[in-house]
Amino acid sequence: MASGTQPRSALLECIRGAVLFALASIAFAHPVLAQRKVELLVDPSKAGDRIDRNLFGQFAEHLGHGVYEGIWVGPDSRIANTRGVRTDVVTALKALRVPNVRWPGGCFADEYHWRKGVGPDRAVTLNPNWGGVTEPNTFGTHEFMDFLDQIGAEAYLSVNVGSGTPQEAAEWLEYLTASQATTLAKERAANGHPAPYKIAYLGIGNESWDCGGNMTPDYYLSQLKIYTRFVRNYNPAQSGDQQMLRIAVGPGGDEPRFVEWAETVMKGWQDRKWSWDMQGLSMHNYTVVHWDKKLSSVGFAEPEYAQILKSTLEMEPLISKYSAIMDKYDPDKKIALAVDEWGTWYAPLPGSNPGFLVQQNSMRDAIVAALNLNIFARHAARVRMANIAQMINVLQAMIMTDGEKMVLTPSYYVYKLYLPFQDATFVPVTFNAGAYTNGEITLPALDAIAARDKSGKLHLEVTNVDPNQPVEVTLNGVTARSATAETLTAPKVDSVNTFDAPHLVMPKPLPVKVERGKLILKLEPKSVSVISVEQ
């Protein structure tokens, strides 16, 4: 027996050695198989600022099929609608609890004349900014307010400072909000709405340093004083804490001219007289790698994934920079920073009208959305409004439509996952993000925020930026009884939902282990996950 076992155990040793060698070579050749472990530490005793629900605002401009076909199909359309507004879109947006919609632009706002969009006879005008197409004005003031009513959102109107007058804007607000029997209020009633409308937010121009009139900072400041003085809200229900918040044009990047702009407007506000005021300063920032050679929204690979994420993270230093300027003139943070245009801007889809800014929305956009929402949440004391550009069929859209077909994008599902964060209280969370490297680009591999909702429940969002490696996350700092989680991921970084395959990128339940009060989850590569904890 003894003589027979010797060669067998040598053989077994040999096989074992070969297997170990093979496993080691696989691990060496495919380091992606190794699973990272990260500990998140939340500190619920240190409640932070409120994550304003307005951070989840939307932007709908008269641009391409953003309004016409995206929202408005008209009452006679064969597409199901309520008073001309498409029913499928309303149902989808209601589910997002959209807090506010910015309208009618964008660059369009500074060429918009509201009178052409009220009453039975609508003028057909032009939309020179966006493809030079005709503008039927069939979606005007009443249709917009009806749309908001259907989805349950507040109005954020941008008034025309570029080519309009203070009188035109003042009359629009009187038409919308006067409760007394003025001629304009009677006209509003005759057009179907006797009660004054609520206008929660008013933007005084748009990008007035560029498409809004190429103004100098000083010229804009004098316009701002005039518009905020004379464009009044007369709705008796909008006094005190319901007052309409007026938002001035702010910077659009980190160039010196934008710094000068922000300094001028904020200093002007600090030196203000009793006769004018504002409550917000806007900021625009798009995720674009090269403006003159935009990346494609489809069919891209990992290098373009990494480039876009690197570019999107520039939101953080930009907000810090303008917050610091605002702090100088407004240490009490009375003025909100409203990032009222942000999102990815890619090359137009082949075959589309380049003026319509049509692009696809992939898993990469979902990661972009999560990273930006987390940046806003971390700056919640100053950033109290943000509007993704744009809501439907334009740029980083929530929804895409084609005739009667509609598809919800990966970005839509991020907004859906983030619902518990609306008006929740920020809770600090610390972790070692690790690093994800592609070529010359190295990014934090992980991002996370935490917040408590009004009922006291703790919610966490964790983004695994790394497109190759899963990560095991353990939550410390709270004793959990149970937890539920959902995750959004996709087979590839460029996976998209299409009209033919609309469910490729959508949230699914994520298993959570609770071990002695600790939560343990495994996050898939390139994923956005929201975890709700019962304590």
Contacting residues toward ligand AHR, per CB under 6 A: 61, 105-107, 206-207, 211, 341, 389-390, 395
Find the angle CA(201)-CA(202)-CA(206) to the nearest 5 degrees.
Answer: 130
Cα dihedral sign, 8-14-15-20:
positive
């300094």: which residue's tokens? 263
Q: How far is the CB of 517 from ligand AHR (least distance, A)?
A: 47
CB-nearer residue toward ligand AHR: 354 or 517? 354
What residue is closest to ligand AHR based on CB? 106
Pick 56 or 59: Cβ nearer ligand AHR: 59
At closest approach, how far in Å is the CB of 105 from ligand AHR?
5
Nearest to 283 by CA among 256, 252, 328, 261: 252
Max distance between CA atoms of the chain, in angstroms, equals 113
Q: How far is the CB of 200 from ligand AHR (least distance, A)?
A: 20
Closest to ligand AHR by CB, 196 vs 252, is 252
- Token pair of 84 as six digits: 């001309």
Element holding 444 (H helix, E strand): strand 441-444
Q: Which is nearer to ligand AHR, 64 or 477 (CB)?
A: 64
Are 130 and 62 in contact by the 8 Å Cβ rule? The answer is: yes
Residues with active-site annotation? 207, 341
DSSP state of 435: E
Contact 429, 418 (CB under 8 A): no
Between β-strands 133-135 and 36-42, what pairing exists: parallel, antiparallel or unpaired? Answer: unpaired
Instruction: Tell me the angle at which helices 256-270 and 315-329 cross, rounded to the nearest 10 degrees.
Output: 30
Cis omega (within 30 of 0) for bond into 167: no
* Count of C-beta atoms within a 10 Å radius of residue 354: 12
Which one, 63 or 512, has the nearer CB to ligand AHR? 63
Closer Cβ to ligand AHR, 203 or 470, answer by number:
203
Q: How far is the CB of 401 from ligand AHR (least distance, A)?
A: 18
> Which CB atom, from 312 or from 422, has the smaller least distance to ligand AHR?
312
User: At which residue do the structure tokens 């507040």 appear?
Assistant: 154
Residue 452 sits at φ, ψ, to 5 deg, of -105, 130
Q: How far is the CB of 394 from ligand AHR (least distance, A)?
A: 7
List b or e across 402-425, with b for residues whose CB sees 16 or more CB atoms inside 10 angstroms: eeeebbbbbbbbbbbbbbbbbbbb
Q: What's the CA gap between 184 and 345, in Å, rounded?
A: 40
Q: What is d(CA 515, CA 474) in angstroms, rounded to the nearest whole number?
A: 10
Minimum CB separation of residue 101 from ligand AHR in Å reads: 14
- What are the counts of helices (DSSP H) followed by strands (DSSP E) for the chain? 11, 27
Q: Could you check whether the bond before residue 299 is cis, i.e. omega within 30 degrees of 0?
A: no
The alpha-helical segments, DSSP class H, found in 178-216 are 183-190
Residues 247 and 204: beta-carbon distance below 8 Å: yes
Specify whether the CB–CB gap between 46 and 91 falls below 8 A. no
Q: Which is nearer to ligand AHR, 52 or 340 (CB)?
A: 340
| Tokens (6 digits) for 433 | 């993000």
Tell the smallest beta-carbon distance from residue 340 to ligand AHR (Å).
9
Least distance in angstroms from the C-beta of 87 to ligand AHR: 26
Q: Which residues contact 217 (CB under 8 A, 6 or more apart)?
A: 209, 260, 261, 263, 264, 265
- Our CB check for ligand AHR shows the closer of 72 and 112 to be 112
**Cβ-based neighbour number of residue 442 at 10 Å:** 12
For ligand AHR, give the closer residue by CB, 72 or 286: 286
Q: Could you identify the residue written with the tokens 């632009």?
A: 105
